[in-house]
């Protein structure tokens, strides 16, 4: 496991998944999954369906599917938190700003 991944899992809510770390964030009626990939040195944001949502019960089944979110649509408090977590884990907080 990468040192940065091991250090991130020490931060609140983060868990390791191979060469990546993931945390979920609920705020403002939105739910996001945030993934940090150590090898690529990138952070990706995804919208995720609310816990317990059922795609079959929704008229638009795609609404219950995770989808990537452009960084500019992510709330500033979440982006700040991710940079703070990266910094606390010894990773460069500017990695959060890198384009994919």
* Residue 81, helix vs strand vs coil: helix
Phi first, then psi, for residue 99 (nearest 5°) are: -75, 155
Q: CA 76 to CA 6: how far, in whole Å?
A: 25
pLDDT of residue 8: 95
pLDDT of residue 1: 65
Runs of H (alpha helix) within 9-75 = none
H-helix or E-strand spanning residue 46:
strand 42-47
Domain chopping of the chain, boundaries: 3-97
Q: CA 86 to CA 91: how far, in whole Å?
A: 5
Model pTM score: 0.82
pLDDT of residue 51: 63
Give the pLDDT confidence of 27-84 residue by residue, as tens digits. Answer: 778 899 999 999 999 999 999 987 654 444 444 544 568 899 999 999 999 999 999 9
CA 92 to mean position of chain CA atoms: 16
């Amino acid at each position: 496991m990468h040192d940065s991944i091991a250090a991130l899992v020490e931060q609140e809510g983060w868990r390791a998944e191979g060469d990546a770390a993931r945390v979920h964030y609920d705020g403002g009626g939105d739910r996001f999954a945030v993934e940090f990939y150590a090898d690529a040195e990138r952070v990706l944001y995804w919208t995720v369906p609310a816990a317990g949502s059922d795609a079959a019960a929704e008229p638009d089944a795609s609404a219950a599917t995770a989808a990537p979110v452009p960084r500019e649509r992510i709330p500033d408090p979440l982006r700040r938190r991710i940079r703070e977590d990266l910094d606390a884990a010894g990773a460069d907080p500017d990695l959060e700003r890198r384009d994919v």
